A and B are shown apart, each in its own frame.
Chain A
Amino acid sequence: MLQIKNLTKIYDGGVQALHNVTFDVPKGQFLAVIGLSGSGKSTLLRCINRLIEPTDGKIFWNGEDITAATPDEMRRIRRKIGMVFQHFNLVHRSPVLTNVLAGRLGYVNPAWSLLNRFPGNDVKKAMKQLERVGIADKANHRADELSGGQQQRVGIARALMQDPEIILADEPVASLDPVLAHSIMKHLEEINKNDGVTVLCSLHFLDLVHRYADRVVALNEGELVFEGLPQDIDDKKFKEIYGRDAERVG
């Protein structure tokens, strides 16, 4: 259970990215976050694992206050929260396997990382995750030799290495073509349904929302303007979320 209460973020320049956002995410839900570019979706997701420090408000996860966690506690919390990015954020010059193993960094002893050593079990596990997303044959390729869809699968494998309870997906398919987008979304759906991992996924296309999400929250200029089921977004709601001049495309 993830509870977000009165979350507010004001950046140093005075830009208000989030304003008093409150909602809950039950365990095992596939939640879509929608809204225009710049509406605060990325900020919201990054506040949850505190890549961005919230200005005000609280985030509770299984009763623990994430916003008050000390650096040591934060390490333990973060390792249970996987994250998938729009631009995949792989380390280009490292092999795919190393990129996947990096998901284990929250667990391994930092001193051994100096020697670039991972326990044997982790390596086996990494190969299994790569098999799961269907690119085990690319394990020793450099990450930048892979296509966009393959890179995003590496990103998912990396998140899976964390044994996550939540996956935060920040527009995971925005840089991919529609066919690849569905294949990536299916992976996320499969993880959500089979492993019971909660997924928070920000999306641009409503057809993807309808197809995959259990529930939707919508942001507009940092404020929560909609919370409910995907099929509840009618034309009126749509205009509220995306503005008066918006046209539905998908």
Chain B
Amino acid sequence: MEKKKSIWKSLQLGLGVLVIMVVYAYGFEITNVNLEELQSERRQNSLVRVMRALAQPEIFEYEQAEQVVNFPFYVTCPPEGTPIEPELDTSNAYITVSPTCAEPGEIVTVEGFNFAANVSGPVRFVPGSDPTNLVSIGRDTVTTDGSGYFSLQFEVPKRPSEEVQYVRATLRENVGLPRFTRTAHETWDKIIETVFLALLATTVGTLLAIPLSFIAARNLMKPVRSPLTSVSLSTLGLPVGMMTGFYVVDWISKIAAPLTGNLITNIAVVSLVPVGIWFATRWAMPPEELTVPPLGLRMARMLVLSLATIASFFWLFHLSGLTSILGRLADQSLGSIGFMGNFLYQLSDILKLLVPSLGALAAGFTLSSFLGRLGQRISEKLTGATLKVLNLVLAAAAGATIFLLFGALIEWLYQIGRPEYTYYIPGGIGAGLGLLLAMLTKAKDTLPVGMVIYTVTRTLLNGLRSIEALVMAIVFVIAVGIGPFAGVLALGLHTIVSLAKLYSEQVESIAAGPLEAIEATGANRLQTIIYAVIPQIVPPYISYTMYRWDINVRMSTIIGFVGGGGIGFLLQQNINLLNYRAAAAQMLAIAVVVSLMDYISSEMRERVV
């Protein structure tokens, strides 16, 4: 028995080793591990060349003083005999070639005199009879000694000619102080672009990840439960509200449009409307109420709040108009800091773009939550049987709405053009599922809506997170064109999804005690989040944001490879042009910036947390 077991064990071990060997053998096969190639002389030569270039990043250069001297030379000696040496100006630098004519392939001696000390440069054969010819042959370089003399054994190239040709020495000397190369300047520009690309992406990502992280946190979402009536009504309310909001804001923009171009109306609206909104909200939202106000008053308040909301959108359009005008003025008059004007101008554009979606979202969520509360009330007031019927209708409508929206998305993506597949059948299925749900649940039961939203959000986040930012950049390059803006969008989106995940894990790990205590005071969900959750998550949120900025700086250095802007674009270009010394400068810049960011972010994290 004992022995059998040990045999079985060694068999298992042997089999395990065999499997591992097979796995690695296959790995070697498909990754083309080939050390012979590495040892070949050709590869090693180019490797050495590249490594040497990389070791000399093209950052500094000198002004160079050049001494160019030609010496007449005949390849194949002329039939009339060795040409006589020309008159040499021995007061300046000069070279001699001896003999003054030779056959191709012969070795002649080139000597240089009176050059500057310790300078170097190429010695070349200049074909043709023109001493100013820029074409030259050969690869020799020489360096003068302390007295400005050099001597070189020079192989005559195969360029026979009856006419006189030349040997040319071009000796260069660094003069003055070192200065930055063009590559260095370009690298600097792009590295700044890179850092700001990362900054913008991190900012956008963080702002959007924070609200997402709350609905992706299990401990906050688990207690969220609503009766079916409320869920169906708020599901119906979201798209209706969003559409209404979009059209209302569109309408406001049309009203505001003729006025937004005028500086004076802009200033008037931007400064006066907030006062009105302030008083309206102060009246409509009293800070503290001990009793439930009568229905009439509540209706009046809601009306005032809606008017205030419309006014605030009107205000936003005027704000956009005002910043746009100010931006243009500043751009023209501020000179070197005109980019501030451009910044304002772009901000106004962003605002103008964002306002309709903001309006749609605001109206959607308001209507949705209002209908949700209404549903809550209805399910409290009505009796079981009536409620059941109502639930059946509402759930069917809500289910159909969800499926129709998905159908519309599919239609838009794949352009099927067959309404029965994208609208009628899915609508029917949705309605059927809604009916089924309404039939299976008791009329007054609460459904775990929170967990449904949590699961959907988490799935979406995990799905998007698995797409690399580099791949997203490719899509955004198509959407907004090559340049850093595409990189900002791609990195921003990736930041949103990955930070939302990290943040939500922090929310899940907070202490439950304060949450319970705040809830016990009668605080609603929003208040609980603000007073019990947010104070607890500030340090980890800051820490993760810093960490993400770090990652974004690193990512933004390569996002240029696919056209996303930043230094990667330059780096890739130089590598493709085999301009390794320039590429080395960019690699150096990346290394410096990344390690600097690393250091700064860890310092700041230590300070804050």
Contacts and interface: CB of A to CB of B under 8 A. Distances in A.
A79 B522 contact: yes
Contacts of B526: 110, 113-114
B546 interface: no
Interface string A36-73: 00000000000001010000000000000000001100
Contacts of A106: 521-523
A109 B286 contact: yes
10 contacts: A70-B380, A71-B376, A78-B521, A79-B522, A85-B516, A89-B514, A92-B535, A108-B287, A110-B524, A113-B530
A17 B532 CA distance: 27
A92 to B, nearest CB: 8
A110 B380 CA distance: 23
Given A83-B520, A105-B518, A158-B521, A91 B532 contact: yes
Given A90-B517, A91-B514, A91-B532, A75 B286 contact: no
Contacts of A79: 521-522
A98 interface: yes
Interface stretch (A20-28, A116-124, A198-206): A116-124
A108 B288 contact: yes
B363 to A, nearest CB: 17
Interface residues of A, number: 47
A62 to B, nearest CB: 16
Given A51-B519, A108-B287, A108-B288, A75 B524 contact: yes
6 shortest interchain CB distances as A-B pairs: A106-B522, A79-B522, A105-B523, A89-B513, A89-B517, A78-B522
Interface string A76-112: 1111011101011111111000100011111111111
Contacts of B281: 111
* Max chain A C-beta neighbours (<10 A), residue from B281, B516, B520: B520
Contacts of A129: none
Interface of A: 49, 51, 70-71, 74-79, 81-83, 85, 87-94, 98, 102-114, 116-119, 121-122, 155, 158, 161-162, 168
Nearest to B524: A110
B516 A105 contact: no
Contacts of A111: 281, 285
B536 interface: yes
A157 to B, nearest CB: 12
B535 A110 contact: no
Contacts of B536: 91-93
Interface string B357-391: 00000000000000000001100100000000000
Given A70-B376, A94-B535, A109-B286, A116 B530 contact: yes
Contacts of A102: 517-518, 521, 523, 531
Nearest to A98: B531
A109 B286 CA distance: 7
